Amino acid sequence: QKEVEQNSGPLSVPEGAIASLNCTYSDRGSQSFFWYRQYSGKSPELIMSIYSNGDKEDGRFTAQLNKASQYVSLLIRDSQPSDSATYLCAVSEYGNKLVFGAGTILRVKS
Amino acid sequence: EAGVAQSPRYKIIEKRQSVAFWCNPISGHATLYWYQQILGQGPKLLIQFQNNGVVDDSQLPKDRFSAERLKGVDSTLKIQPAKLEDSAVYLCASNSRTVYEQYFGPGTRLTVT
């Protein structure tokens, strides 16, 4: 059974701080890794994808992947109250179904 | 580019009734997915289509759930008869053969009473 584990949170950070979200996965065959943001009552919104070991930066977001440790993380710099949401980690083999974690609730306090 | 479309957005039915959901993927996306998201959990795949063929339906409760994608474009997911535990958000997603990112529609929130 392929599993994706995330801390449920809530993770509370002050406005302007760095939020660090973590995810581990069990299937070593996983090749694609994604972070989705989900606001309450809304559907998941893709914010980052990463396929190779190392860091990938996009604006205030940085995704980090370590396949040897089966670990994916998302850093959000200069956190804003609008970043408050549930962050879902998802993994897949190329082009196939996503296996999601349960999500981490992030709260950014102004 | 238009996103994934779903309807209806909300549905309330009584247990043992039937219900159907519709999804139209992003234009040109060959792969379509139906996910079920129960409150407090991450989405779970129900079925994956490649064009009009089923790739993965291993987690679809086939005694009550069915899905089709007859012309390789839009898709319908049906539940008959519904149970209380089917209360969830049903999400449709799509991607192309060469781009692995999946994009989700707004979802259908089903409440079974």
In angstroms, how far is the first alpha carbon of chain A from the final one? 40
Does the beta-carbon distance from B42 to A32 stay under 8 Å?
no
Is the Cβ–Cβ distance between B96 and B84 less than 8 Å? no
Return the SS3 of A36: strand
B95, closest residue in chain A (CA to CA):
A95
Over residues A22-36, mean pLDDT: 95
Chain A residues in contact with B91 (beta carbon < 8 A): 43-44
Q: Which of A48-57, A74-83, A86-95, B75-84 has the lowest mean pLDDT?
A: A86-95
Does the beta-carbon distance from A34 to B41 stay under 8 Å?
no
Give the model's pLDDT for residue B99: 84
> What span, in angstroms and rounded, lies between the C-alpha atoms of A7 and A67?
19
> What span, in angstroms and rounded, lies between the C-alpha atoms of B75 and B5?
11
- Residue B52 corresponds to which tokens in the numbers above? 């009009």
Over residues B48-63, mean pLDDT: 95
A105, closest residue in chain B (CA to CA):
B40
A32, closest residue in chain B (CA to CA):
B100
Nearest to B56 among A45, A90, A97 (CB): A97
Number of H helices, E strands in chain A: 0, 11
Over residues A73-88, mean pLDDT: 98
Q: How confident is residue A93, by pLDDT bands cut at 50, 70 and 90?
A: confident
Nearest to residue B38, comparing CAs of B109, B86, B88, B112? Answer: B88
Q: Which are the contacts of A8, defined by CB distance < 8 A and separation ≥ 6? A: A102, A103, A104, A105
Chain B residues in contact with A103 (beta carbon < 8 A): 41-42
Amino acid at A76: I
Q: In this predicted model, what pLDDT tens digit does every residue of B64-81 receive, in sequence order?
A: 999 999 888 999 999 999
Q: Classify residue B18 as exposed, middle or buried by CB count within 10 Å of its CB (0-12, 13-18, 19+).
A: exposed
Q: What's the DSSP call for residue A96?
A: S
Over residues A37-51, mean pLDDT: 97
| C-alpha torsion B109→B103→B100→B43, nearest 10 | -20
Q: How confident is residue A94, by pLDDT bands cut at 50, 70 and 90?
A: low
Give the model's pLDDT for residue A95: 62
Least Cα separation, residue B32 to chain A (angstroms): 10
B101, closest residue in chain A (CA to CA):
A49
Give the model's pLDDT for residue B43: 98
Does the beta-carbon distance from A92 to B56 stay under 8 Å?
no
Q: How confident is residue A96, by pLDDT bands cut at 50, 70 and 90?
A: confident
Q: In this predicted model, what pLDDT tens digit does every residue of B20-52 receive, in sequence order?
A: 999 999 999 999 999 999 999 999 999 999 998
Does the beta-carbon distance from A98 to B97 stay under 8 Å?
no
Return the SS3 of A56: strand
Between these two residues, A29 and B6, which has the higher pLDDT value? B6
Instruction: Report the share of chain B in percent with pLDDT over 70.
Output: 100
DSSP letters spanning A9-32? --EEEETTSPEEEEEEES-TT--E
Nearest to B43 among A44, A94, A96 (CB): A44
- CB-based contact, A97 to chain B, within 8 Å: yes
Nearest to B100 among A32, A101, A102 (CB): A32
Chain A residues in contact with B56 (beta carbon < 8 A): 96-97
> What span, in angstroms and rounded, lies between the C-alpha atoms of B47 and B33?
6
What is the phi/psi pair of residue A81, to 5°? Answer: -55, -30
B81: cis peptide before it, omega within 30°?
Answer: yes
> What span, in angstroms and rounded, lies between the C-alpha atoms of B52 and A79?
43
